[in-house]
Structure 1
Amino acid sequence: MIKHIGSYLKKSSYKLFAYKGAHLILSVGLFYIFFILFRYGSLTSVDTYGFRYNYFVALIYGAMIVFFVRTYNAYLLGYTRVRTLVFGQFLAQLLSIVILYFVISIAWSKFTSFLVFFPMLIAQIILDVIWSYYGNTIFYKLYGKRKTLLIYRNQIDKIRFGTIKGKPTERMYEVTDELQYDGSFSALKDKLQGYDTIFVAGVNSRCRNGILKYCKENNVYGLFLPHIGDTIMQDAKHIQAFDSPVLAISRKELSPEFAVIKRVFDIVSSGLALILLSPVILVTALVIKLYDGGPAFYRQTRLTRDGKEFQILKFRSMRVDAEKDGVARLSTGENDDRITPVGRIVRRYRLDEIPQLINIFKGDMSVVGPRPERPEIAEQYCQSMPEFKLRLQVKAGLTGYAQVYGKYNTSPYEKLEFDLLYINNMSILIDVQLCFATLMTVFRKDSTEGVTGITAIDSEKNINCKERNKMSEEYDN
C-alpha cells in the first residue's frame, strides 16, 4: 500500500512538472514571435544568423522566467490563489522583457519602440489566467483532499497553524481532528492511524522524533513548525574528523570573498536606486514638508551588526510629536491617529523606507538582512526571547525573509525565525531574489498593517514570546 501511494504521488509530480514545462515553453514561444516582430518587423524575412541570435535571446528569456517564477512562487500550484499565481507570472514576464529590452537596446545603441510587446503581455495574461485556474484544478484532482490531524502543545502553538483551514489550503487539507498533546509517543502512536497528513507544533522532542519516524515509515506527509533551536541547527556543518558524526555550530561569520561581494552589491544597487528614484525622493520630501511644515526626514537610533548603533534615515509619516513622551511605540496600523494623511500614502507604498538607501551606501546597513530595531525595543524583545540577539550576527537590512514572506503583524517569534533562516542561507543569489521579491510586497495590503498594542512588548503576540521561550526551555524534556 505504501509503495502504491508513493508511486501515485511520483506520477502526479511528473504530470505537474510537465504542466509547468508547457507554460514555460508557451511563454518563451510568445516572446520569440513578438521579439522577431520587434527585431525585424516581420516573421518571414529573417536570415540564418538572425535566427541563431534570436534563439540565444529566447533562451536567456526562458532562464530569466525560471528565475523570476521561483522568486515569486508563481508555479506553486495548490497552495496559492489563482490571482496571486497570475500576478507573479505576469511580474516575471514583465521584468524579463524590460531587462532584455534595455540590454538589447544598449547593445544595438538604439532604443526601438517597446509598444510591440504590449500585445504579447496581454496574450501572456490570458495564458496565465487559463494556466493558473486549470493548474490549481489539476493539482487538487491529482492529490485530492488529505485527511489531516493537527497536534499541538497549547493554544499558542495552535495559533501558529495560521490559515491552514482557510482558502486555498483547505482544498488540500481536510482537518478532521485536532489533538492537544505533549506526552509520550508510545501513547500517541495508535491515534495517528488513518491520516494522510499530520501537522505538528510545540510537542516535546521525544514525541516529535517518534512522529517523524512514523511519517517516514508509513509514507505520511508530516509538517512540523520549527522551534528556534531547529532553525539554528540548520546552519550546522558536518565534521568528519571524529569517529562519530559531529555537527558543528558557531557564530555566523561572512567569508572575506562573500563580504566583499555583498558590500559591492550594496554600493552598486543602492547607488543606482538613489539615482533612479531621485525624482520620487524630491517629490515625497516636498509633499511632506508642505503638509505640516515639519521636517521631511527623521532620524532614529537603530542597531546593526554586533549591536552597533547608527542613525537610520526615513521619510516622516507621523506627526512631529508622535513620541513626545519618549515611549517607543509600534504603529497600530490604519487606525493609528499619529500617522498623517500624507504618511498613510507614504507607508502604503513603502516610500518611507527609500532614504535608507543612504544608510546602505554609507555601510550602516545592507540591502538584505534583518530589519534594524530600536535599542529599547530590542532590549524588551531579548527579555522574552534571548535568541533575539542572534539577529545581530549580520548587518541590518532594508528587506529580508520576514518582510517578503511574513506580514507587518507577524509575531516577533516568527520574524526571528525568518531572520535566522536568511542568516543560515545567505548568498548573493538569495539577495537578488529577495530584492525582486520585495517588489511584490508593495501590492500586498497585509505587508503594511500594524500591530495591536502600545509598545513593542505590550501586544498579545509579543507577550506570547515569553511563553514560547519558556516552552523552548522545556522542549527537550
Structure 2
Amino acid sequence: MNNRKFALSMIMKFSIFALQFGFFAMVLFQYYGPRLFRRADSIGYAVTLILYAIVYVALGNLFRAFKITDYSIAETIFSQFLSFGMADLLLYGEFCMIRHNYVNLIPGILTVLCQLLAAACWALVGKRFTIAFGKPEKTLVISGADNVNEFLQKFDKIGHIFTIEKVVSADILKGDWKKEVAPYQAVIFYEVSSKKRSEVIWYCMQSRKSLYITPQLSEITMEGFGARHLIDTPMMKYEYRSERFWYNLVKRVVDILLSLTALILLSPLLLLTALAIKLEDRGPVFYKQKRCTKNGEVFEILKFRSMIVDAEKGGKSIPCRSGDPRITRVGRVIRKLRIDEFPQIINVLKGDMSIVGPRPERIEHVEEYTKEIPEFSYRLRVKGGLTGYAQIYGKYNTSPYDKLRLDLQYIEKQSILLDLKLILLTIKIMFVPESTEGFTEEKSAQMTEKTKSINEIEE
C-alpha cells in the first residue's frame, strides 16, 4: 500500500470510529450511565467505554467493516451494522447485569439507528472520496497458466484498487525480467511455481512493491509447521493440528451445544420453510444426498428441497447455473438466505458433520477431483462442516482447485478461536448474495479444465 492510500485508510477508519464511539458515549452519559453508576464513579464509565471500543474495533476488523474500498457500499454498511450492533448488544447485556433487571431498550435502539445512518453516510461519501484521491496501483500480472483471462475477470469489480496494465508469461523470468517489473507498483504472480518466482519476489520486496501470489498446495501445507528450537540449526515440525485430542473433544462439545441451541431457536423458521415447500408443489420437504466426510466415510446430508422433484434425473450431478429453471420459487428465497442448508444442523448433532470444516462433497465429485488433483483427498482428514474457509471466502461457483486451497488453509490453521471467527463471519456471509452465485453454462461445462492445467504447473 502506498503512503497516500495508507493515510486515506487511517483517516477513514478514525472518522467512523469517532462517529460510532461518540454516539455510544452520548447515550451512556445521557441515559444509561446515571442510572447505573454513581456520579463520582468515573471508573464505571471508563471501563464501559474501553470495553465498547475494544469490542467494536475487534468486530470491525473481523467483518472488515473498515475496508471501505475493498467491498461494495451495501456490504460495508452491513459490516458496520454487525460490528456496532453486536457491540451495543453486548454492552446492553452488561447494563442489565449491573442493574439486575432489564433496562429501557428504546434509547439503545435510537442510538443504533443513528449509528446506522452515520455508517451509511460514511460509506457513501468515504468510498467516493477514497476512489477519487487514492489512485489504483499500476499492476503487472505474471502468469504461469493458460486460463489467465478467467482470473483477470475477477478484477473487474475492484478496478479502483488495481489497474492491470500488462499481463506477461512466466517465461520472461528466464531473461532480463527487472526491466519488465520495475515500472509497476504491484506485481501479481498467477500460478507461477515457487522456483521460478523466488528471485523476483526478493526484488519486489526490496523495491517495496505490493506483492501477491496464488499459492501452491505445498506452500499452504507449510502453514502447518511450527518452529522447533532443539539445536542451533532452525527446524520446523509439522503439527498435525487436525489430530489434537483436546481440540477435537472441545469442538465436538461445542458442536452439540450449538446445534441443539440452533434447532430450538430456529424451529419456527424450519417449520415455516417446510410448510412453504410442501404447499408449493406437494413434493418432499427434504432432499437427501450421499456425501463424504472424515476418512472417506459416507453419510446422507439433509437439505430443504430448493429444486423441482427429480431435478437430477438418474442421480447424475448437474451443476446449478445462474437463473437455473429447476429452482422453485421457494427455493430461490431459501437458497439466497442459505435456509436450505439449515437441516444440516441435524447432521451436526448426529456427528456426521461439524459446525466448521470443509464442505462435504458428493462421492462422485471426490472421485473425479481426486483423479485430477490427488491432494484433494487431504480434505478428508477432517470432518465436513456447515461453514468454512471455502464458504466464507469463496462462492458457490468457485473452482474445485480454489476451494481446495481455501480448505487447506483452514486445515493447517485449525483452532477454537479460528472456528469462532468463521462462525461469526458466517452471519455476515449469509446475507451476501454474491456468495451464492451459480455457474454460467460455459463454466458448468468446463469445471475441471482449470484443475488440469494447475496440476501440470504443480508438477
TM-score by length of 1: 0.87
Residue 372 in 1 paired to residue 360 in 2?
yes
| Gap change, CA 1:116 and 1:243, over 3 Å in 2 | closer
Q: Do the aligned residues in 2 keep the contact of 1:319 with 1:339 (CA within 8 Å)?
A: yes
The residue number in structure 2 matching 1:111 is: 102
The residue number in structure 1 matching 2:144 is: 153
The residue number in structure 2 matching 1:31 is: 24
Gaps of 5+ in 2: none
By how many angstroms is 1:73 displaced? 0.7
Residue 401 in 1 paired to residue 394 in 2?
no
Q: Do the aligned residues in 1 keep the contact of 2:293 with 2:299 (CA within 8 Å)?
A: yes
Tell me the amino acid that sits aligned with residue 112 of structure 2: L
| Gap change, CA 1:87 and 1:240, over 3 Å in 2 | same
Listed as ranges, the matches of 1:24-173 within 5 Å are: 24-39=17-32, 47-48=38-39, 51-102=42-93, 104-105=95-96, 108-133=99-124, 135-136=126-127, 139=130, 144-164=135-155, 166-167=156-157, 169-173=158-162
Q: Which of 261, 271, 276 is equivalent to 2:260?
A: 271
Backbone CA RMSD of aligned residues: 2.8
The residue number in structure 2 matching 1:3 is: none
The residue number in structure 2 matching 1:348 is: 336
By how many angstroms is 1:37 displaced? 4.6
> Take 1:84 and 1:291, find their aligned partners in 2: how far apart are those partners?
32
Listed as ranges, the matches of 1:70-469 within 5 Å are: 70-102=61-93, 104-105=95-96, 108-133=99-124, 135-136=126-127, 139=130, 144-164=135-155, 166-167=156-157, 169-182=158-171, 184-241=173-230, 244-249=233-238, 251-335=240-324, 337-452=325-440, 459-469=445-455
Q: Do the aligned residues in 2 keep the contact of 1:334 with 1:449 (CA within 8 Å)?
A: no
Tell me the amino acid that sits aligned with residue 61 of structure 1: Y
> Take 2:278 and 2:97, find their aligned partners in 1: how far apart are those partners?
39
Q: Do the aligned residues in 2 keep the contact of 1:451 with 1:459 (CA within 8 Å)?
A: no
Moved more, 122-131 or 257-266: 122-131
Tell me the amino acid that sits aligned with residue 66 of structure 1: V
Q: Do the aligned residues in 2 keep the contact of 1:288 with 1:294 (CA within 8 Å)?
A: yes
1:275-311, Cα deviation, whole Å (9 max, x unpaired) = 1111101111122122222221232221111111222
Tell me the amino acid that sits aligned with residue 27 of structure 2: F
Q: Do the aligned residues in 2 keep the contact of 1:330 with 1:453 (CA within 8 Å)?
A: no
Q: Runs of 4 or more off by more than 4 Å in structure 1?
A: 133-143
Greater per-residue helix proportion:
2
> Is the partner of 1:269 in helix, strand or coil?
helix
Moved more, 76-85 or 418-427: 76-85
> Take 1:358 and 1:106, find their aligned partners in 2: how far apart are those partners?
34
> Take 1:69 and 1:211, find their aligned partners in 2: how far apart are those partners?
35
Q: Do the aligned residues in 2 keep the contact of 1:182 with 1:203 (CA within 8 Å)?
A: no
| Gap change, CA 1:183 and 1:229, over 3 Å in 2 | farther
Moved more, 155-164 or 405-414: 155-164
Q: How many percent of aligned residue pairs carry the same amino acid? A: 32
1:387-434, Cα deviation, whole Å (9 max, x unpaired) = 111111211110111111111111111111111111122222222222
Tell me the amino acid that sits aligned with residue 21 of structure 2: V
Tell me the amino acid that sits aligned with residue 372 of structure 1: P
Tell me the amino acid that sits aligned with residue 353 of structure 1: E
Q: Do the aligned residues in 2 keep the contact of 1:147 with 1:197 (CA within 8 Å)?
A: yes
Moved more, 73-82 or 32-41: 32-41
Number of aligned residues: 459
> Take 2:23 and 2:13, find their aligned partners in 1: how far apart are those partners?
16
TM-score by length of 2: 0.90
> Is the partner of 1:116 in helix, strand or coil?
helix
> Take 1:78 and 1:362, find their aligned partners in 2: how far apart are those partners?
42
